[in-house]
Amino acid sequence: MSDSADDETPMLGMDLPEMAPQPSSGPYRVLARKYRPQTFAELIGQDAMVRTLGNAIARDRLAHAFLMTGVRGVGKTSTARLIAKALNCIGPDGQGGPTIDPCGVCEPCRAITEGRHIDVIEMDAASNTGVDDVREIIEAVRYAAVSARYKIYIIDEVHMLSRNAFNALLKTLEEPPPHVKFLFATTEVNKVPVTVLSRCQRFDLRRITPDMLFAHFSSILQKEGVEAEAPAIWLIANAAEGSVRDGLSILDQAIAHADLDGGGTIAAAQVRVMLGLSDRSSIAQLMATILEGDAGAAIDLARAQYALGIEPVAMVRGLMDLTHAITLAKVSRHDDPALAEADRERIGDWAKKLGFAPLNRLWQLLLKGHDEVLRATNPLEHLEMLLLRVIYAASMPDPGELAKLLEKGGVPAMPLAAPAAPAAQESMAVEPVAVVEAAATESADTPASALTVAQIHQLLESTGNHRLAVDVYDHLRIITLEPGNLVFAPVAGLGASFARDLGDALLAQTGSRWQVREGEGEGRPSLGNIRAAALADNDARIRELPVVKAALAAFPDARLVDGADNRHKSNP
């Protein structure tokens, strides 16, 4: 018997799976659940709310209904559970009262933490939206709590309740029994009726800043025994967008990603690949090609990134982030801890070289292109067209820069004066009408009392004789113009009664009789002819500018537009 027993003992010992000890921690819990705040001290970023609740509990001025609102993952449901524990905690000795620091060891605290307390009822309004679900609450609030100090109803996503359900809850919510507290949580407070909001004490939970998230994640990684590069943690903190839960989910994924790679350390490059973010160095190279105007290199870089799995919209976002960083660097407000020293220097160099106007145009082009690429059926094609648009439009000087360039003599000046004008050269700011008036002025031996053609035109305009003023401006070619005597060249555009009508108009305005007649010869050019020649000459000079030549080459369909005020010329 003993021999057989001895023989059987080693055989039992070989059954290792049955004899191996099971982990005491049980199944793996994700970080978002494992590190859910259990005390108000662990609730990060909500100091104002914690202070308000602490003072209310200390002064015994507790509201009957609380509403927590904020973006996803900032601790709304966790706060509701903490309030439930704070109100029902009895302390380790069983003699405690409501406190902002629940002990976590008494039966009510442990039961609420484990979600099994009979007097703390959690309800998901997304799946219990009807008036019948609310009617059950109304019926139950009449009964006192079974074992706790307060009966607490936690309603998550309360904005999902139907209109009738909200109406049914209003009376009970306004005057609940003294042993009942309502705790609501929602991400869309604008969908909660104002009648409900007015009956609740509202707490707006703020987004968690990247600095707080970085410190929180670093602490969790230390507890988990996982090493990580600081830029990697910053990337995760920024990707969380103010949500602790989202950040912990990304951190969970990053830990798994690092382990699978065999290094065991969370690296920034791995996090970028995991999140689908474009590589900073590649985006910097793409930005450099854009600023240099190298369209071919920009297209090649974009296609190479696309072949590596980077989405076109991610590349546009990367360019937008870089443009934003450069702009902030110009005002000394850029501080991204995730950046390497080389990237900081590169952004600083660009900030010194680029002005606010080109950066603003670049931002606007990328912002508009982002929506186009996001909605495109073929995002890569839209990205390539966007890059070409940015290259040829963002680097063009604005009117202010062009004016400064002209003042410094960077390009030749462009006088508007026509050859028939006086010798004085005019700048770009000279109005064409001034040139016309100067060209139409009589010679120095003309008496001071004599009228010029331009003055005759203005005189007719001021008296409302628009038809005759237009004829003078467009067709009147002067042969002789003396006081009381006007001889003009025959022009087909002038009617048979032009001489008589102009003489009568001059008599009425000057009080002197004028002899207006048609003579022989071509006469001097009309006011309209002088202005047209001046504009044509100015147009030719503008087109010779290097900047304008480059613009017309980049945009073949572009045309020069005369923005001058034409008030001096009336419509017929």
Is residue 442 classed exposed, middle or buried when 0-12, 13-18 and 19+ CB atoms within 10 A define those classes?
middle
- pLDDT at site 281: 74
448 vs 526, which has greater pLDDT? Answer: 526
572, 383, 384, 389: which is closest to 493 by C-alpha? 572
Per-residue pLDDT band at 406 (split at 50, 70, 90) = low
Residue 449 DSSP SS3: coil
Find the mean pLDDT for residues 503-522: 82
Beta bridge partners of 361: none
Q: Which amino acid is at 195?
A: T
pLDDT digits (tens, 9 = 90+) for 82-117: 999 999 998 888 888 888 888 888 998 999 988 889
Point out the least confidently predicted range of 172-176, 311-315, 437-441: 437-441
- pLDDT at site 395: 53
- pLDDT at site 182: 92
pLDDT digits (tens, 9 = 90+) for 300-357: 998 988 887 788 888 898 899 888 888 888 887 666 665 666 677 788 888 888 888 8
Per-residue pLDDT band at 462 (split at 50, 70, 90) = confident
- The terminus-to-terminus CA distance of the chain in angstroms comes to 132
Using the predicted structure, report yes or no on whether residue 249 has a pLDDT greater than 50.
yes
Residues whose CB is less than 8 angstroms from the CB of residue 65 and which lie 6 or more positions away in sequence, other chains included: 173, 176, 181, 182, 183, 184, 199, 200, 201
419 vs 119, which has greater pLDDT? Answer: 119
Phi, psi dihedrals of residue 123, rounded to the nearest 5°: -130, 135
- Tell me the H-state helices in 198-330: 210-224, 230-239, 244-261, 268-275, 280-292, 295-307, 312-330
Per-residue pLDDT band at 440 (split at 50, 70, 90) = very low
**Domains in the chain: ranges and CATH:** 31-204 (3.40.50.300), 210-275 (1.10.8.60), 280-395 (1.20.272.10), 426-572 (3.30.300)
State both tokens at 401.
């820069």
Concatenated DSSP letters for 309-369?
T--HHHHHHHHHHHHHHHHHHHTT----TTS-HHHHHHHHHHHHHS-HHHHHHHHHHHHHH
- CB 243, CB 208: distance < 8 Å: yes
- pLDDT at site 154: 92
- Alpha carbon 527 to its chain's center: 52
Phi, psi dihedrals of residue 550, rounded to the nearest 5°: -65, -40
Find the mean pLDDT for residues 147-151: 88
Distance from C-alpha of 193 to C-alpha of 196, rounded to nearest angstrom? 5
173 vs 3, which has greater pLDDT? Answer: 173
- pLDDT at site 415: 34
Is residue 167 classed exposed, middle or buried when 0-12, 13-18 and 19+ CB atoms within 10 A define those classes?
middle
Percentage of the chain lying above the pLDDT 70 cut:
79
524, 537, 515: which is closest to 417 by C-alpha? 537
Q: What is the mean pLDDT of the chain?
A: 78
Strands 180-186 and 478-482: unpaired
Is residue 96 classed exposed, middle or buried when 0-12, 13-18 and 19+ CB atoms within 10 A define those classes?
middle
Please name the residue that has the structure tokens 């999902």: 160
